[in-house]
Structure 1
Amino acid sequence: MPVEFRHHDSLRLFAEIARYRSFSDAAEALNMTKGAVSYQVKTLEMDLGFALFQRSARGVELTPGGLKLLAACQSHYEEIEAEILALKGVSTRTLTVGVSTYFAARWLSPRLMAFMQEHPDIQLRLQPMIRLFDLEAQGVDIAIRWGSGQWEDGEITPFMPCPAYPVGNAAALQRVEQQGWAHAISGFTLLRDHDDSNAWTDWLNTAGLPHQTRRDTLIIPDPNVRVQAVIDGQGIALMDALAGQEAAEGKLFRLSPRALEDYGYFLVRPQRGGARKSVQAFADWLQGQ
């Protein structure tokens, strides 16, 4: 005889705590006291027979059992939402994808029609993003991010390896050919994507070059603007194979054989919502490209 589960209301509370990774923040969002939240979680765990959360240096983390239950809850809520939309006569679900205009224009856009044909019930919305953080607050369901993948702001999945290497214009290349890349690069202005980026530090380490704090840097968050700045002679930048058109046209040149081999594009899903069927469908489609 099946055991009757009596704490369905607590599952919503559980999902909110998992979203915020904090009992206090969840209590504030739900207009409850922290004590009441803790009591309901303890009661839920007693009824389930296993722990849902554990304390860590980062706050509250889900146990393996908690992760499985969260995935089940999210799938359940999505089915309810889809059914409500169907009853209202709305046939599509919006999936918001956070992506830089650089990647969207050079790789993603030419392939999107295939996804739309395979999933006509999912309405795609591309959200231009330069820096990807706090995805939930920005309403982003899944994001495509370039870098090392060493982040703590979501569920990270490797997607497309794309090593990065220094590029410059023709004048920069001539200087490298005259002085040697190891010596010449130390005299260029380094174009960076944002002020706390580790990309140039990682590359200098890989190349065995000193990386003491340099003042000759210029922060240009938009990769498209950064490419143009390199062409205009404003400095050198770490770029990847997606800048191949400019290279083919003789506007950009690789300045060193050393590259950040571990860098590339990663899929980033917010802690809450990453298990939605539409998100998973898009992630699976991307991995198949």
Structure 2
Amino acid sequence: MRRHFRHHDLLRLFAEIARHSSFSDAAAALNMTKGAISYQIKTLEADLGMALFRRTTRGVTLTDEGLRLLAACQTRYQEIEADILEMKGRASRSLTVGVSTYFAARWLSPRLMTFLQRHPDVQLRIQPMIQFSEREMQQVDVAIRWGNGDWGEGVVTPLMSLSPYPVGNSSVAQKVEALGMGVAISQLTLLRDRDDSNAWSDWLTAACLPQQTRQDVLIVPDPNVRVQAVINGQGIALMDDLVSADLEAQLLFRLSEIELPDYGYFLVQPNGTVATDAVATFSAWLRAQS
């Protein structure tokens, strides 16, 4: 057994010398003396009964036997590294998912136990997100984001089509019923999710209504806060069927039948991240649930 371990150490040393093509450079990289390295290689050559290096004035070159041995070593070491990575992956399949608290509370959370029961080996972490900024996205493996998917960053795939429509509180609903949407909307504040969002512009176009001015807009990035702002009468917002409980409780009222069919929830894999097996497993589960 000791001989096998000695051969393993000597073969690692042999591969390092072959990489540097120099006893001196390999010695410096390994913090060893050139004499110690030379002695170790002579010992390996004696054990194997073959010359592995040709000594030249510029360093060393591999013999034919040395080339074959190096190819065998590299193949084995690559296999070992791959096995180690696979073992580490099985031991700890961690996954960080970025999602708004609105979607997490109203759709994801009630279903999560199913995923955890089916995949107990995945260590899941839910990361609350609001702006889905580049900085936030670099902290997650995958994100679930609302919009039309036209963000131009990361790998974007459709997850769930939930078309948004305008909602308001009871006072707003009465105003819309009395004046009509075309007149009433010009007197209302539009709550947007972010400054560069085109959702309201797209909806107004779909409804054949004039665009609103910037003074008619209030930015409320957090969807939960936006829902509460609508209930409190601060404006109207584009929401989806995840507010169905608020509609049933008559805290919110749907103001129009016109929807935006291209909008919904998308899976976004941030740029620079790896599509791990855990990401694939979670994404497949999400699609099955939706």
Work out whether the TM-score is over 0.5.
yes
The 8 Å contact of residues 136 and 270 in structure 1, kept in 2 or not, is answered as no
Q: Taking every aligned residue pair, what percent have the same amino acid on both sides?
A: 59
Compared with structure 1, are the counterparts of its residues 80 and 102 closer, same or farther at alpha carbon in structure 2 (3 Å cutoff)? Answer: farther
**So what's the TM-score if we normalise by structure 2?**
0.68
Paired residues for 1:20-31 under 5 Å: none
Residue 259 in structure 1 maps to residue 263 in structure 2 = no
2-structure distance, mates of 1:272, 1:181: 45
**Residue number in structure 2 paired with 1:45:** none
Compared with structure 1, are the counterparts of its residues 146 and 208 closer, same or farther at alpha carbon in structure 2 (3 Å cutoff)? Answer: same
2-structure distance, mates of 1:103, 1:137: 17
Compared with structure 1, are the counterparts of its residues 137 and 150 closer, same or farther at alpha carbon in structure 2 (3 Å cutoff)? Answer: closer
1-structure distance, mates of 2:100, 2:118: 24
The Cα shift of 1:137 comes to 5.8
2-structure distance, mates of 1:104, 1:169: 24
Residue 152 in structure 1 maps to residue 152 in structure 2 = yes
1-structure distance, mates of 2:163, 2:213: 24
**Residue number in structure 2 paired with 1:125:** 125
Compared with structure 1, are the counterparts of its residues 184 and 119 closer, same or farther at alpha carbon in structure 2 (3 Å cutoff)? Answer: same
Compared with structure 1, are the counterparts of its residues 209 and 121 closer, same or farther at alpha carbon in structure 2 (3 Å cutoff)? Answer: same
Structure 1 unmatched runs, 5+: 1-76
**Residue number in structure 2 paired with 1:56:** none
2-structure distance, mates of 1:136, 1:214: 27
**1:128 partner amino acid:** P
The Cα shift of 1:135 comes to 6.3
Deviations 1:186-215 (A, max 9, x none): 210011111111111111111111115331
2-structure distance, mates of 1:104, 1:136: 17
The Cα shift of 1:261 comes to 1.2
Deviations 1:135-162 (A, max 9, x none): 6863200000000011111101111000
1-structure distance, mates of 2:274, 2:205: 34
Structure 2 unmatched runs, 5+: 1-80
1-structure distance, mates of 2:157, 2:276: 15
The Cα shift of 1:231 comes to 0.5
**Residue number in structure 2 paired with 1:204:** 204
Paired residues for 1:1-289 under 5 Å: 80-84=84-88, 91-134=91-134, 138-289=138-289
**So what's the TM-score if we normalise by structure 1?**
0.69
Q: Which 10-residue stretch deviates more, 272-281 or 103-112?
A: 272-281
The Cα shift of 1:217 comes to 1.3
2-structure distance, mates of 1:286, 1:164: 20
2-structure distance, mates of 1:102, 1:137: 18
3-state SS in 2 of match to 1:98: strand
The 8 Å contact of residues 137 and 143 in structure 2, kept in 1 or not, is answered as no
Q: Number of aligned residue pairs: give it.
A: 210
1-structure distance, mates of 2:223, 2:83: 38
**Residue number in structure 2 paired with 1:65:** none
3-state SS in 2 of match to 1:152: coil
Q: RMSD of the alignment, in Å?
A: 2.0
The Cα shift of 1:242 comes to 0.2
The Cα shift of 1:182 comes to 1.7
**1:225 partner amino acid:** V
The Cα shift of 1:78 comes to 8.9
**2:171 partner amino acid:** A
2-structure distance, mates of 1:257, 1:179: 16
More helix by share: 2
